[in-house]
Structure 1
Amino acid sequence: MLAGIKSAFNNNYVSAEDQGARPLIANRTAAKGWETFDVVTNADGTISFLSAANRKYVTADLNDHTKLIARAATIQAWEKFRRIDRGNGKFALQAVANDLFVCADMNLGGVLYANRPAASGWEEFTITALSSPNPGTPDSQPSTGFVVTEQQFNQIFPSRNRFYTYAGLVAATAAYPAFAKTGGHAVERQEAAAFLANIHHETGGLYHIVEANKANYNHYFDYNSKYKVVPGKQYYGRGPLQISWNYNYGAAGEALGLPLLSNPDLVAQDPAVAMKTALWFWNTQTGAGTMTCHQAMVQSKGFGETIRTINGALECNRGGGGAVPNRVEQYKKICAMLGVDPGGHLSC
């Protein structure tokens, strides 16, 4: 929910001053860019605030006199607050970091601190939901239109191969405009997180461009497929979801308008093509499951169904351990970064 937060004492909006570089302060009469926040409901019932000024989470910084400032990339303890109802539309915020209440200190110009043992006037706030951004407010999505920023992409894949680029991913999303843009704020971010978690697992953090086990290279030939094997070409795993087999290269190439059957190496040569093949599978193929990965996420069937579609025959219904918990853990980490609950049905 995009919202403006007001001090109930002076009726001013809370602002992430200087594009989030300075502590929060209740000193504004209108909610524009610096005064708007995405209110995130966490799985444990606490809430967090994502500043529209810089797309960072508000933290109660115990290393800086408990000042509230929008500087955190992910939600951890210092970024969580308990919302305490005070009646008449007012509420108090209790910081999980130290169990103290947030105060708009009027002796210090309205700067917000998490330093009060009890709540009264200066510790009371109201929230005004904004149906659409006010003039000057950054879009709730990054300017690329994709729900994940380049900074977040780099944080998710710190050791990625330079072949894989954020620009390549964003360019590829144009081929499947419903991807991560269906179902509203939470579902869009859950789908993006699910896709990124799975490609992280498949490629070792976007490190591998081609299948590591060369002993399998001559295995992926289906001579009964309508997509005929081109002499001299191999159809081993390539790209973020390690697309393999001649029938997948043929079908993906047909859907994307690319000569992948005759030139499968394109998937390992062009970052956008590589991402497009992954999104082709994600959005159109049921694999080992009963639905596409896109359907699984937008229909709230759970992250576990994406695992089943991608590699269910080898990974699902096999008890604990192995690849499934690794995929799930990565998904949960990315959801936390994007400020969204991961939902249920995480395993398969």
Structure 2
Amino acid sequence: MRRILILPAVLSLVWGLLAVLLPSAANAAACATAWNAGAVYTGGAVASHNGHNWTAKWWTQNETPGSADVWGDQGSCTGGGSGGTACSYPNWVAGQFYAVGSIVRYTDGNHYIAVHENPGYDPVISHWYWDPYTCSGGPTNPPDPSGFVVGQAQFDQMFPGRNSFYTYSGLVSALSAFPAFAKTGSDTVKKQEAAAFLANVGHETGGLVHIVEQNTANYPHYCDPNQSYGCPAGQAAYYGRGPIQLSWNFNYKAAGDALGLPLLTNPWLVQQDAAVAWKTALWYWMTQNGPGTMTAHNAMVNGRGFGETIRSINGSIECNGGNPAQVQSRINSYQRFAQILGVSPGGNLSC
């Protein structure tokens, strides 16, 4: 039988071709953290799914890699991608008691955290008892380029049912008007101020749901004709708008002058432009004492506590026994938001 002699050079060529045509698992990239349906991903975030790495082209949540245009396929991967045990929370069970802080996986694959103890109420129906929870199996809160201490995912977790008008991008855009907001003092103070601001505006708007004041009967009352500039937009034009429900012609005039916006003649800008709406709320927070003795910003950065911010916004209407239920509602939101940001709420919570 004849033997065929294969030269070493030929063998080398054959193996090289095979390596190109049949890439081995060893050459595949390592799998990133496994994609999580409940996590929020921003542009550039990487997650693995079904043996491939995927890159998010823009903001996404609950859009499966491979079936949504938001994800770009980066090729096959091996190993890793397990997401750890952080996402291994128990399935929700109807009728089972849940203490505050309990985290469950709902039937839709998303996670929820109990913010009030309950006897197993449905998380997607009983929003008073449950909030959406972003599982830590993915890049849930990538840093924002603005340096804001609240990330997109945390903002979404705070306001899962918010009106689409109140965008995170609008808030971040408004920050440039008041660079000291949530950037003064220690990291703890910065997060406490952000939590305090968002808790108060959330309270004022029913969880960032209402853009304008709901009681239309009040609309004509917010015009003070004794001001030299009067009410050029009309008697009933200066009703409450935006995250902190800016009202009265003199407040629209002062806010407009401070922000370089024609709010006295065009108060409707506050309900039409998210960035403008957020700026008016920050203007009040940063510059107005209201019925209190200091601005809400100074209350937080000077250690006076969350209770003093309530006084600056609603004074005796709520404080000193005026409406303890409303005060407690604000405190509850503040404590929950502080927990989301991973910071202690501090003392002096009530007024």
The TM-score normalised by the length of structure 2 is 0.60
Instruction: Pick closer, same or farther for the CA change 1:62–1:264 going to 2, 3 Å.
Output: closer
- The letter for the 1-side match of 2:165 is F
Match of 2:315 in 1: 312
Contact 2:317–2:323 (Cα < 8 Å) also in 1:
no
- The letter for the 2-side match of 1:156 is M
Contact 1:288–1:309 (Cα < 8 Å) also in 2:
yes
Identify unmatched segments of 5+ residues in structure 1.
1-16, 23-55, 64-74, 79-138
SS, match of residue 255 in structure 1: helix
Query: Cα distance, 1:231 vs. partner?
Result: 4.9
1:147 aligns with 2:129: no
Query: Cα distance, 1:238 vs. partner?
Result: 0.3
Contact 1:227–1:251 (Cα < 8 Å) also in 2:
no
Contact 1:227–1:246 (Cα < 8 Å) also in 2:
no
Instruction: Pick closer, same or farther for the CA change 1:329–1:276 going to 2, 3 Å.
Output: same
Distance in 2 (alpha carbons) for counterparts of 1:59 and 1:77: 13
Query: Cα distance, 1:321 vs. partner?
Result: 3.5
Match of 2:245 in 1: 242
Distance in 2 (alpha carbons) for counterparts of 1:187 and 1:18: 38
Give the alignment of 1:42-61 within 5 angstroms. Answer: none
Query: Cα distance, 1:322 vs. partner?
Result: 2.0
1:197 aligns with 2:168: no
Distance in 2 (alpha carbons) for counterparts of 1:245 and 1:300: 30
SS, match of residue 201 in structure 1: helix
Distance in 2 (alpha carbons) for counterparts of 1:231 and 1:59: 55
Distance in 2 (alpha carbons) for counterparts of 1:319 and 1:211: 21
1:185 aligns with 2:177: no
- The letter for the 2-side match of 1:238 is R
Instruction: Pick closer, same or farther for the CA change 1:159–1:335 going to 2, 3 Å.
Output: same
Query: Cα distance, 1:228 vs. partner?
Result: 2.5
Instruction: Pick closer, same or farther for the CA change 1:319–1:266 going to 2, 3 Å.
Output: closer
1:210 aligns with 2:220: no
- Structure 1 residues 40-76: Cα deviation after superposition (integer angstroms, max 9, x where no partner): xxxxxxxxxxxxxxxx9x959676xxxxxxxxxxx95
1:286 aligns with 2:272: no
Contact 2:293–2:312 (Cα < 8 Å) also in 1:
yes
Farther-moved stretch of structure 1 (297-306 vs 217-226): 217-226
Match of 1:136 in 2: none
Instruction: Pick closer, same or farther for the CA change 1:232–1:347 going to 2, 3 Å.
Output: same
Match of 1:325 in 2: 328
- Structure 1 residues 265-312: Cα deviation after superposition (integer angstroms, max 9, x where no partner): 000000000000000000000001000010000001000000000011
Query: Cα distance, 1:223 vs. partner?
Result: 2.1
Distance in 1 (alpha carbons) for counterparts of 2:87 and 2:208: 33
Identify unmatched segments of 5+ residues in structure 2.
1-29, 36-82, 91-99, 104-140
1:171 aligns with 2:140: no
Distance in 2 (alpha carbons) for counterparts of 1:226 and 1:300: 38
- The letter for the 2-side match of 1:302 is G
Distance in 2 (alpha carbons) for counterparts of 1:172 and 1:288: 25
Match of 1:131 in 2: none
Distance in 1 (alpha carbons) for counterparts of 2:171 and 2:319: 28
SS, match of residue 183 in structure 2: coil
SS, match of residue 252 in structure 2: helix
Match of 1:220 in 2: 222
Query: Cα distance, 1:221 vs. partner?
Result: 1.4
Choose the corresponding residue for 1:263, options 249, 263, 266: 266
Larger Rg over CA atoms = 2
1:229 aligns with 2:212: no
1:343 aligns with 2:346: yes
Cα RMSD after superposing both structures:
2.8
SS, match of residue 201 in structure 2: helix
Query: Cα distance, 1:222 vs. partner?
Result: 1.4
Farther-moved stretch of structure 1 (215-224 vs 231-240): 231-240
Instruction: Pick closer, same or farther for the CA change 1:62–1:175 going to 2, 3 Å.
Output: closer
Count of equivalent residues: 229
Query: Cα distance, 1:154 vs. partner?
Result: 1.0
Distance in 2 (alpha carbons) for counterparts of 1:159 and 1:197: 14
Instruction: Pick closer, same or farther for the CA change 1:251–1:197 going to 2, 3 Å.
Output: same
- Structure 1 residues 121-153: Cα deviation after superposition (integer angstroms, max 9, x where no partner): xxxxxxxxxxxxxxxxxx995333111111111
SS, match of residue 305 in structure 1: helix
Distance in 2 (alpha carbons) for counterparts of 1:231 and 1:257: 17
Match of 1:111 in 2: none
